[in-house]
Structure 1
Amino acid sequence: MVPLGLAFGALVVQSGLDWWWAALSAALVYGGSFEFLLIGMVVAVASPASIAVAAFLVNARHVFYALSFPLERVRGRLAKTYSTFALTDEAYALTGTERSRTWSGPRILWLQFFMHVYWAGSATAGALLGSLIPDGVTGLDFALTALFTVLALDAIRDLRGDLPTPVLALLSAVAARLLFPEQMLLAAFALFTAGLLARRVATGRRPTRA
């Protein structure tokens, strides 16, 4: 969270925006992949409607996260509201492991809170230090792709020989890219979910969760 937040903050400043854009976005938007996209849209003066559609398409994957995220362990309306807001890819990845099945609601909530603090704090620091980075440095926007690559590799290791699951995920991504290039992320998640359900029906067992 910290290296990615630093890269985001630096990218905000290098894009010509004031440093407080990074702090405000990290605190209130708190959607890493969409925030990277939002920088370009703000710089290009995109319409509010375009930004809203982009936000929906990029963050629609959270609908699928909610199917297995342990929100029922979090007690209290306010706590549940914040936990829903703070449901990120990293929080989902950590709460979806075998070890996390015994975690209590407060532990899950504190995990999400500290991730939020790490992201907001590092984004602000990156923005304040961004002016020190030479203009010739490129590739900061690739930090998010690198993070997803690491999360994918860790998920594959946790499958313990369950090869069909990552193969199904790869095929879903390729099919979505070819058939629905404008809505690839949402289509890939839908195809992957449908494939897992079909596999469950066909094999009569619950597939290992990545």
Structure 2
Amino acid sequence: MQACSQSNRHHPAQLSALSLSIPVAMGYVPLGSVFGFLLVQAGAAWWLAPLMSIFVFAGSAQFMAVPLLAAGAPLGTLALATFIINLRHVFYGLSLLHRLPQGRCARAYLVWTLTDENYSLFTTLPGGTPAAQMLRIGALNHFWWVLGTLIGALIGAQVSHALAGIDFSLAALFAVLTVEQWRASKQFTPIAIALAAYALACWLVPGQALLASIALSLLAGAAIVRRKRPNPTQEAA
């Protein structure tokens, strides 16, 4: 009984939003700091970095925007590039429609904060998890990103040389989230599909490997779901 109670204590449903968001904070704070630092080093005012993180909150798209803004790219180019990079979030939202809160404002905010890391956390939560818990997680992770951005922007405004190497935390963060996904579902098939899809995409279209691997993973996932779906003809028989 004691062992069972100890294991339940660490179940996602029993953990606070703060506890669940700490692994994301370990990646968001240093990565946000790198973004804020780079944006200020590119010539932007320090306050633009946290402002962008508050109203955009799209990590990879924000990093992409730094050289484009430095080169004076038009807003249309920035908007199109952001749309392409974040197109995968549409599929994230579709898979979570049944778990989104009913209120318009709460639903809109949760959809807006549906980053890769938030999606990974949400899919490890039990089906009966209250929408308020998901909102708290999304808000906390948004806060970590803004906090990191502010720290990096303030540092960037004070120093004149670039920092390198800290961006390794993004890969480490995704590795931790992948392990947590496997521990929650005990299914290695999604990981195997993702690895195989990326390897195939790197071989076929190395210039668009990420987009191609996402498309291949979606096709494989749809095929698996269709194969597992019961046949109405067989059920009737």
TM category, shorter: 0.7 to 0.9
**Does residue 103 of structure 1 match 2:103?**
no
Which amino acid is the alignment partner of residue 217 of structure 2?
F
Moved more, 24-33 or 193-202: 193-202
- Which residue does the alignment assign to 1:126? 152
Cα 1:50–1:204, aligned 2, differ >3 Å: closer, same or farther? same
Within 1, Cα distance between the matches of 2:62 and 2:98?
A: 24
Give a deviation string over 1:95-147, Cα, whole Å, max 9, x none: 101x4423101111121112112211221122112345562532344443443
| Contact 1:27–1:120 (CA under 8 A) maintained in structure 2 | yes
Within 1, Cα distance between the matches of 2:174 and 2:46?
A: 26
Q: CA-atom RMSD, angstroms?
A: 2.5
How many pairs are equivalent? Answer: 203
Moved more, 55-64 or 5-14: 5-14
- Which residue does the alignment assign to 2:140? 114
- Which residue does the alignment assign to 2:46? 19
- Which residue does the alignment assign to 2:21? none
- Which residue does the alignment assign to 1:191? 216
Which amino acid is the alignment partner of residue 24 of structure 1?
L
Instruction: Measure how far apart 1:19 and its partner are.
Output: 0.9
Within 2, Cα distance between the matches of 1:184 and 1:33?
A: 16
- Which residue does the alignment assign to 1:46? 73
| Partner-residue secondary structure (3-state), 2:95 | coil
After superposition, residues 27-46 of structure 1 pair within 5 angstroms as 27-46=54-73
| Contact 1:57–1:183 (CA under 8 A) maintained in structure 2 | no
Q: Which has the larger radius of gyration?
A: 2
- Which residue does the alignment assign to 2:163? 137
| Contact 1:61–1:185 (CA under 8 A) maintained in structure 2 | no
Q: TM-score, normalised by structure 1?
A: 0.83
**Does residue 163 of structure 1 match 2:188?**
yes
Within 1, Cα distance between the matches of 2:204 and 2:29?
A: 36
| Contact 1:83–1:112 (CA under 8 A) maintained in structure 2 | yes
The percentage of aligned residue pairs carrying the same residue is 35
| Contact 1:71–1:83 (CA under 8 A) maintained in structure 2 | no
